[in-house]
Amino acid sequence: MKQNAKIRGRLRNFLYLPFILTVLLLLINIPIYYIDRQIGAALTGFVIIYFLFVSFSYVRSRPILEKEMIYFARQYATVQKQILDDFQVPYALLDINGKILWVNQKFVNLTGKEKGYHKTIFTIFPMISKDRLQNPNKENSFLIQWEDKIFRGETNQIHFKNKTEPESVIEVNEEEHVFISLCLFDETELNRCIQACKEEKLVAALVYIDNYEEALDSIEDVKRSLLAALIDRKVNAYFSKVDALVRKIEKDKYFVVFKYKYLNILEEDKFSLIEDVKSVRVGNEMAVTLSIGVGIHGDNYNKNYEYSRMAIDLALGRGGDQVVVRKEEEISYYGGKSQTIEKNTRVKARIKAHALRETLQSRDNVIIMGHNIGDVDSLGAAIGIYCAARTLNKKAQIVLNEVTSSLRPLKECFSPEKGYPEDLFINSERAMEIISRNTLVMVVDTNRPNYTECPQLLERGNAVVVFDHHRQGNEVIKNPILSYIEPYASSTCEMIAEVLQYFQEKIKLEPCEVDCIYAGILIDTNNFMTKTGVRTFEAAAYLRRCGAEVTRVRKLLRNDMNSYKARAEVVRHAEVYKGSFAISVCPGKMESPTIVGAQAADELLNIIGIKASFVLTEYQGKIFISSRSIDEINVQLIMEQLGGGGHLNTAGAQLINCTLTEAKRALQDTIDKMLEKGEIEI
């Protein structure tokens, strides 16, 4: 050990100090010789004697000093080892490959391994990876589950050479070694307290009866109080199972508070209350449905309540009869399997019409846009808003980037030769140029920002209005000044037709304008065969009184021969999956393949035994899926699993970064999974 040890640092400097002084004395002695040779000779003799004494003392004392320091270091190391051995935290020293070099008594007591156990740490804790030990950039803190306890493990690399730098006393001439220290901190009780605190947090929920007035109107007066009492009883009994506080804030609204630990029970139960309340029958022909919004994971109770308000708005925007759980930005859905209920009253349409009128009056101009790859419904709705703006002498322009074969005959009806402005239809680039701070951006037939013709307009516009009939999803247009989303409506054109009736008395519409709006209703209802209600026919009757001509509309909506043949090919090559699902692929080499795919999906429902149809189309680098059903399968739930949405019997999705084969496989896997969970039945 003596041969390998060297004195270094400040102690070495202290030992070399006499020799440095000797050199200084010799340097001082030189000028003294010039002054007095005798004094210089005497000083030289003194320096020589001093040097001999210092050298003798250094040679004699250095070995003793090294021995004492080594002895002290050994004692110091022994004390450190004892301290670590008695350390109340399990501790292990590993080499760079994870081999155990030394462990303390607490580590032995925890793992049951003796101190002579020198295998790798991975044999005891397989969850610790070798990469974590060898990579210093990795997170050095991690959780370890050991029996019924939870430990937080911390690893640190110890570089031996770095520990013998200037402040140290002894330098050992060894190669650099890297060791790893592992400490295990018992956090079982801490995690239990954190979990208990989390479970005791309060969850806010809002319960709304979707069709309270409609259900009461369907029964006798004497039974109305009984129906309301039975609903109250169902709601209170259900939430009493989870020790919840239920308060009725309005005749058809409840505020519920319960502990977070019970939320998992309700989710596993899939909120059976929404199905149970439908069994309440006291002579009412219409089943009662509920919507529930739950808010959790907020910073405080007010935030949870705000989340519950957002959740209930989303549940109602999706048609009701479902539960929406909002966990900050994460949203979960339960239910939503039944058809949306048409509202008999048109009070809401009148209120929205007046609000739209006031909004248009306060703006200089309006830019209208629908969804990308526009269809007849989005164009018809845009034309309806154009007519409303024209009535107020406001300039209106429609963003239309691509004119499909189905839209071309309708668009040609609004040419400059027929008295319409040349810049009535503009592209996205032009829209971005003309938008100003006082421009109204009107979105129709979609409520998803990424589905619009120009999403950048939503960011540039200070005022955004949304009119749509699709159910809302996780992605919505943020902060619109006016939003009118009614999933029960057959089409956006139906909503626009109702709004125009209340927008202004005797509003004047040209024949081509009412034909376009009427065509939107006709296409989205598949010639009045799907999603049609009383208000659908009332809207059609209003348009007919305004001058819509069925014969003209039929001519405008005729298909060319290539599209008709392509649709027939899609039907011919369709395959039946699970005995009830028709799946086919539409060729993308045509002018409007997505329109043909949607039409083919409607055609496939005419086949006996088919409960739902899906047509996949590859177009513009995406896979478009058009799905249709009659009444037994909720295709909206299936499409939502693939990132899309829509209605119970009309929905769609857009997939990116995948092939047709992969998209088809994903669709089949989704159907299999939902059948297994019981979310859909055949």
Beta bridge partners of 7: 170
- Cα 669 to Cα 398, 524, 663: the distances in Å are 40, 28, 10
Q: Are residues 488 and 471 in the same domain?
A: yes
pLDDT band at 162 (very low <50, low <70, confident <90, very high): very low
Domain annotation covers residue 273: yes
pLDDT band at 246 (very low <50, low <70, confident <90, very high): very high
304, exposed or middle or buried, with CB in 10 Å at 0-12, 13-18, 19+?
buried
Query: Domain ends where: 33, 53, 84?
Result: 84
Question: Closest Cα partner for 326 from 291, 297, 289?
Answer: 297
Contact 165, 154 (CB under 8 A): no
Residue 383 has pLDDT above 90, yes or no: yes
Query: Domain ends where: 55, 84, 113?
Result: 84
Q: Are residues 231 and 164 in the same domain?
A: no
Q: Which amino acid is at 272?
A: S
- Cα 589 to Cα 596, 600, 618, 619, 620: the distances in Å are 11, 16, 9, 8, 11
Average pLDDT over the chain, rounded to an integer:
84
What is the rounded CA–CA span in Å between residue 322 and residue 277? 12
Domain annotation covers residue 344: no
Give the other-Cβ count within 10 Å of 670's Cβ: 19
The predicted pLDDT at position 319 comes to 75
Q: Mean of the pLDDT values across residues 134-143?
A: 71
Q: Are residues 618 and 475 in the same domain?
A: no
Tokens of 509: 């519409």
- Kindly report the CATH number assigned to the domain that includes residue 627: 3.10.310.30
Question: Closest Cα partner for 457 from 386, 397, 499, 407?
Answer: 397
Classified as helix, coil or strand, 49 is helix
Q: Are residues 463 and 361 in the same domain?
A: yes
Domain annotation covers residue 349: no
The predicted pLDDT at position 389 comes to 94
Query: Domain ends where: 556, 575, 594?
Result: 556
Provide the pairing of β-strand 141-146 with 612-619.
unpaired
The predicted pLDDT at position 7 comes to 63
Q: Are residues 303 and 250 in the same domain?
A: yes
The predicted pLDDT at position 161 comes to 56
Domain annotation covers residue 351: no
Domain annotation covers residue 231: yes
The predicted pLDDT at position 420 comes to 93
Q: Mean of the pLDDT values across residues 480-507?
A: 89
Contact 627, 651 (CB under 8 A): yes
Question: Closest Cα partner for 315 from 305, 307, 323?
Answer: 323
Q: Are residues 24 and 40 in the same domain?
A: yes
Q: Are residues 545 and 614 in the same domain?
A: no
The 10s digit of each residue's pLDDT in 297-308 is 888 888 889 999
Largest interatomic CA distance in the chain: 139
The 10s digit of each residue's pLDDT in 609-645 is 999 999 999 888 889 999 999 878 888 889 988 888 8
Domain that holds residue 48: 5-84
What is the rounded CA–CA span in Å between residue 370 and residue 387? 16
Q: Which residue has the higher pLDDT, 438 or 560?
A: 438
How many independent structural domains does the chain possess?
5
What is the end-to-end Cα distance of the chain in Å, rounded?
Answer: 84
Q: How many residues does the chain have?
A: 682
Q: Are residues 366 and 500 in the same domain?
A: yes
Q: Are residues 299 and 163 in the same domain?
A: no
The 10s digit of each residue's pLDDT in 515-528 is 999 999 998 888 88
Residues 6+ apart with CB under 8 A from 150: 143, 144, 186, 187, 188, 191
Domain annotation covers residue 350: no
The 10s digit of each residue's pLDDT in 48-87 is 888 888 888 877 777 777 777 776 667 666 776 676 667 7
Q: Which residue has the higher pLDDT, 39 or 496?
A: 496
- Kindly report the CATH number assigned to the domain that includes residue 256: 3.30.70.270
Angle at 634 between CA 640 and CA 281, to 5 degrees: 125
The predicted pLDDT at position 333 comes to 84
Contact 523, 598 (CB under 8 A): no
**Phi, psi (rounded to 5 degrees) for 613:** -125, 145
Q: Are residues 16 and 93 in the same domain?
A: no
Q: Which residue has the higher pLDDT, 564 or 368?
A: 368
Tokens of 117: 């156990």
The 10s digit of each residue's pLDDT in 333-351 is 888 666 555 565 677 888 8
Domain annotation covers residue 345: no
The 10s digit of each residue's pLDDT in 407-430 is 888 999 999 998 899 999 999 999
Domain annotation covers residue 213: yes
Q: Are residues 187 and 221 in the same domain?
A: no
Q: Are residues 549 and 565 in the same domain?
A: no
How does DSSP classify residue 452?
B
Angle at 606 between CA 602 and CA 608, to 5 degrees: 140
- Cα 106 to Cα 122, 147, 572: the distances in Å are 18, 16, 73
The predicted pLDDT at position 230 comes to 92
Contact 680, 581 (CB under 8 A): no
The predicted pLDDT at position 382 comes to 95
Residue 239 has pLDDT above 90, yes or no: yes
- Kindly report the CATH number assigned to the domain that includes residue 360: 3.90.1640.10
